[in-house]
Amino acid sequence: MGGGATRLYGTLTQTLDSSSSPRSLPPSYLDPRQPAVSNLDPDLCQQQQKGSSVYPPDSVELLRQCEEALRDQPPRLHRKFVLLNDGDSAPSSPIRVMQWNILAQALGEGVDNFVQCPREALSWSRRKHLIIEEILTYRPHILCLQEVDHYHDTFQPVMAGLGYNGHFCPKPWSPCLDVEGNNGPDGCALFFDQSQFELLDSVNVRLSAMMIPTNQVAVVTTLRCRSTGRFVCVAVTHLKARSGWEWLRSAQGSDLLWHLQNLVQKLADGSAGDAGGNISLLICGDFNAVPSEEVYRRFTASPLGLDSACKKLSQDGLAEPEYTTWKIRATGECCSTLDYIWYTKNTLKVVAVLDMPTEEQIGPNRLPSFIYPSDHLSLVCDFSFKEKE
| 71 and 102 assigned to the same domain | no
How far apart (Å, rounded) are the C-alpha atoms in residues 388 and 43?
38
Other CB atoms within 10 A of residue 53 CB: 18
| 15 and 142 assigned to the same domain | no
* Confidence category of residue 60, pLDDT binned at 50, 70, 90: confident
In a domain, 88, yes or no: no
How far apart (Å, rounded) are the C-alpha atoms in residues 161 and 3?
6
Q: 168 - beta bridge partners?
A: 189
In a domain, 259, yes or no: yes
Per-residue model confidence (pLDDT) at position 277: 57
Final residue in a domain of this structure, among 43, 59, 83: 83
Mean pLDDT value of segment 248-271:
92
* Confidence category of residue 67, pLDDT binned at 50, 70, 90: confident
If you average pLDDT over every residue of the chain, what do you get?
A: 85
In a domain, 317, yes or no: yes
76, 372 contact by CB (below 8 A): yes
Final residue in a domain of this structure, among 83, 113, 148: 83
Per-residue model confidence (pLDDT) at position 323: 98
| 107 and 74 assigned to the same domain | no
How far apart (Å, rounded) are the C-alpha atoms in residues 166 and 164?
6
Q: Domain range spanning residue 113?
A: 95-385
Q: What percent of the chain has pLDDT over 70?
A: 81
| 40 and 70 assigned to the same domain | yes
In a domain, 89, yes or no: no
Which range, of 41-50, 210-219, 263-272, averages the lowest pLDDT? 41-50
| 222 and 113 assigned to the same domain | yes
Per-residue model confidence (pLDDT) at position 91: 61
Q: Torsions phi, psi of 255, nearest 5? A: -65, -40
- 56/331: higher pLDDT: 331
311-357 pLDDT tens trace: 999 999 999 999 999 999 999 999 999 999 999 999 999 999 999 99
Secondary structure string (H, E, C) spanning the chain: CCHHHHHHHHHHHCCCCCCCCCCCCCCCCCCCCCCCHHHCCCCHHHCCCCCCCCCCHHHHHHHHHHHHHCCCCCCCCCCCEEECCCCCCCCCCCEEEEEEECCCHHHHHCCCCECCCCHHHHCHHHHHHHHHHHHHHHCCCEEEEEEECCHHHHHHHHHHHCCEEEEEEECCCCHHHHCCCCCCCCEEEEEEECCCEEEEEEEEEEEEECCEEEEEEEEEEEEEECCCCCEEEEEEEECCCCCCCHHHHHHHHHHHHHHHHHHHHHHHHCCCCCCHHHCEEEEEEECCCCCCCHHHHHHHCCCCCEEEHHHHHCCCCCCCCCCCEEEEECCEEEEECCEEEEEECCCEEEEEEECCCCHHHHCCCCECCCCCCCCECCEEEEEEECCCC
Other CB atoms within 10 A of residue 243 CB: 6
Per-residue model confidence (pLDDT) at position 68: 85
| 75 and 127 assigned to the same domain | no
The answer to whether residue 291 scores a pLDDT higher than 70 is yes
| 358 and 214 assigned to the same domain | yes
Q: State yes or no: cis peptide before 368, omega within 30 of 0.
A: yes
187, 148 contact by CB (below 8 A): yes
The residues, ordered by sequence, that sit 6+ positions from 37 with a Cβ below 8 Å of its Cβ are 25, 27, 28, 55, 60, 63, 136, 137, 138, 139
| 140 and 264 assigned to the same domain | yes
Total domains present in the chain: 2
| 61 and 128 assigned to the same domain | no
* Confidence category of residue 86, pLDDT binned at 50, 70, 90: low
31-39 long-range contacts (CB < 8 A, ≥24 apart) are 31/90, 31/92, 31/94, 32/90, 37/63, 37/136, 37/137, 37/138, 37/139, 38/63, 38/67, 38/137
| 69 and 130 assigned to the same domain | no
Closest among 249, 239, 199 to 218, alpha carbons compared: 239
| 79 and 99 assigned to the same domain | no
Closest among 61, 17, 58, 54 to 38, alpha carbons compared: 61
Final residue in a domain of this structure, among 83, 113, 142: 83
Laid out side by side, the sheet with 231-238 consists of 197-209, 212-225, 231-238, 280-286, 339-344, 306-308
In a domain, 266, yes or no: yes
Per-residue model confidence (pLDDT) at position 69: 85
| 339 and 312 assigned to the same domain | yes
The model carries a pTM of 0.85
- 192/89: higher pLDDT: 192
* CATH number of domain containing 328: 3.60.10.10
